Structure 1
Amino acid sequence: MTGRVSLVGAGPGDAGLLTVRGLRALEAADVIVADRLGARGVLDGLAADGVELRAEVVDVGKLPGHHAVPQDGINALLVHLAREGKNVVRLKGGDPYVFGRGGEELAFCQEAGVEVIVVPGITSAISVPALAGIPLTHRGLATAFTVVTGHDQIESLSGGRDHTVVLLMGVGTLAHSALTLARGERGAECPVAVVEDGFGPRQRVTVGTLATIAAQAAERGIRSPAVVVVGDVVRISPFAPAELAVGALDVSDEHTARLAAEQL
């Protein structure tokens, strides 16, 4: 008898942000195939809260530049375990479908005749900026946002400071990304926030502009994991310096003057 696979989003790493449906899937699992980021933090957090899971945990965690288990190996493992009749949870950081390759795992399992259930999770693209008091949209400041990785081609990203950009896995390419975005409509003075290790022990926020953030990152030794937010919504953050705060918008600039008027 073939088992099934549940693709469960672990969220950003705080066990309190795991969904109830995700918790129920973990409790019913025979085997948990877990990522490093998010997933491991949730399992540790559940254990600390006294939640006992009977499942065997298989760690397939990926480190930057090194894949402990290749994606093809993970796909094959999920099918193998399910064909042994086991109830398998593939515990993925954030949401399985936001830069998590969940779609690939779903397709592979379905092609092998294995039933798959998807349990969404809270993506770090939204939850980590919230830690720094940054909403990705805000009336009068931003009406849209785009989520990309630092490895994507961002030259084609349109919009100004009222179109928020969220960079995931972007620390290594931060200098290039900042320079590229500064050349566009956003300009060099566009606010930027970097939130390191969201919901983790090294949680820290750095705020600057596209012109300054690379130097700040080097000076402060910013490390992955981190989420980068670009746009005027950064001005709302309590971590924003006085010169970048919403009340300090430069009304001599046509763009910020319009935004300031909408705020009033």
Structure 2
Amino acid sequence: MMLELSLEGLNVLLLGEPGATRQALARYRREGAVVAHLASPAAFLRAGLPGRVSLVAVVAPSVRPGAGGRVHDGVWQGIVDHYRAAGVPVVREPAAGSRGVVTLVGGGCGAEGLLTRDALDALRDADVVLYDRLGPWESLPALSTAELVDVGKLPGHHKVPQEEINALLVEQARAGANVVRLKGGDPYVFGRGSEELDACTAANVPVRVVSGVSSAIAVPAAAGIPVTQRGVSHCFTVISGHAPLSSAEHAHLAGLGGTLVVLMGVANLPHLAAGLRRAGMANSTPLAVIERGHHVDQRVTLTELGRAERDTAGCGNPAVIVIGDVVRQAPDSGARLVAHATAVDTA
């Protein structure tokens, strides 16, 4: 069961050690609660228990089942029982994330709903979040009380070079922060996540990886395009399109069959399309460009390989390109593929 409760002006008693409660304390204060924080049972007993309490929040790192199936709140149990007997609701908050660690989090393709539970937990427990523009960065103020640092990258322009991002991760962790590096898609799919992991490992900074939903699959799906389909395509190949490919690479891709998914490839699409045609891929091969997938302004352009340069001239990043017969599965795609490419809002 999930209940929504306005905390504005509400008297909240927060129970827990300072290190464990740092993020919960920030969350309650951000929502306007009047928070009394008790760091130890002894301190409470000396000062006396607050009388005007509307909600008790317990941060107990070692919560365990008690007798009769009840949750046991450790050293706080007596205080919790006191307020529960008085009719005060009791909630439990997770302990803050460990200090001095880095978590590489895959944020999906920008839609908050594609964040995994592990990703949400990592953001909630973070002290610092380094984010880029391809993850759900606009939702961060509601998902985390952390310090937010924009290290976003644009095609051809890196606001913060990768080497500086690596150094920032290590620096913040060594300073005692719980650090999240929020990346678009999955950290290990053209995301340079392995470079960031290597930098942390070399500096003896603990690091873990939270996988994310890759735009290579999620964005075509948002346009109604499966990357594989029985009887149509039994495989799919994902490539980075940010740099031009060689003639040998074009020939290899043209001979693979199946579905070709291109990430970061809008700028080089004319070069890619021409190279695939020279390598023998048919002009009639369906092609789709899905811009801003899973966003309210998502746009899908459907065409064929032979008309790709002309029909996709107005497309821009972020976008995913899909080449192959599966593109015909896009809603009502048949008529548009026979006639001419049309930009369609699919949100």
User: TM exceeds 0.5?
Assistant: yes
More deviation, 58-67/88-97: 58-67
Q: Which residue, 244, 263, 279 being the options, matches 1:168?
A: 263
Mapped partners of 2:283, 2:319: distance in 1: 21
Q: Distance in 2 between matches of 1:137 and 1:176?
A: 25
Unmatched 5+ residue regions in structure 2?
Answer: 1-97, 339-347
TM-score of the aligned structures, taking structure 2 as reference length: 0.65
Q: Residue 161 of structure 1 contacts residue 190 of structure 1 at CA under 8 Å; is this kept in 2?
A: no
1:194: which partner in 2?
289
Aligned AA for 1:183?
R
- State the 1:183 CA deviation: 2.4
2:235 matched to 1:138? Answer: no
Shift of 1:40: 1.4
Give the deviation of 1:158 after TM superposition.
3.3
CA distance in 2, matches of 1:191, 1:173: 18
Q: Which residue is 1:234 aligned to?
A: 327
Q: 1:105 is aligned with what amino acid?
A: E
Secondary structure at the counterpart of residue 36 of structure 1? coil
Q: Percent identity?
A: 53
Q: Distance in 2 between matches of 1:132 and 1:125?
A: 12
Q: 1:30 to 1:95 in 2, by over 3 A?
A: same
Q: Which has the higher contact order (CA 8 A, sep 6+)?
A: 1
Distance change >3 Å, CA 39–CA 157, structure 1 → 2: farther
When the two chains are superposed, the root-mean-square deviation of aligned CA atoms in Å is 1.9
TM-score using structure 1 length: 0.85
For structure 1, which segment, 118-127 or 159-168, has the greater mean C-alpha deviation from structure 2 after superposition? Answer: 159-168
- Give 3-state SS (helix, strand or coil) of 2:253's partner: coil
Structure 1 or 2, whichever has the larger Rg, is 2
How many pairs were matched up? 237
User: Does the C-alpha gap of structure 1 residues 146 and 161 become closer, same or farther in structure 2, counting only changes over 3 Å?
Assistant: closer
Question: C-alpha separation between the residues in 2 aligned to 1:157 and 1:11?
Answer: 29
> Which runs of 5 or more residues in structure 1 are unaligned?
246-264
C-alpha separation in 1, matches of 2:206 and 2:108? 23
**What's the CA shift string for 1:80-113, capped at 9, x where partnerless?**
0000111100000110000000000001100110
1:81 to 2:81 alignment = no
Which of residues 300, 305, 312 is equivalent to 1:210?
A: 305
Identify the residue that residue 13 of structure 1 maps to in structure 2.
110
Q: 1:178 Cα shift?
A: 0.8
Q: What is the CA deviation profile of residues 9-33 of structure 1, one whole-angstrom value per residue up to 9, with x for unaligned ones?
A: 0001111110000000000101001
Distance 1:186 1:161, change over 3 A: farther
Provide closer, same or farther for how the CA distance between residues 111 and 215 of structure 1 changes in structure 2, counting only shifts above 3 A: same
3-state DSSP of counterpart to 1:155: helix
C-alpha separation in 2, matches of 1:42 and 1:54: 12
Contact 2:302 2:337 in 1 (8 A): no
1:128 and 2:223 are equivalent in the alignment: no
The 1-side partners of 2:138 and 2:244 are apart by 27
Task: Say whether residues 1:40 and 2:131 are aligned partners.
Answer: no
Give, in angstroms, the shift of residue 159 of structure 1.
4.7
**Does structure 1 residue 158 correspond to structure 2 residue 253?**
yes
Kept in 2: contact 1:132–1:239 (CA 8 A): no
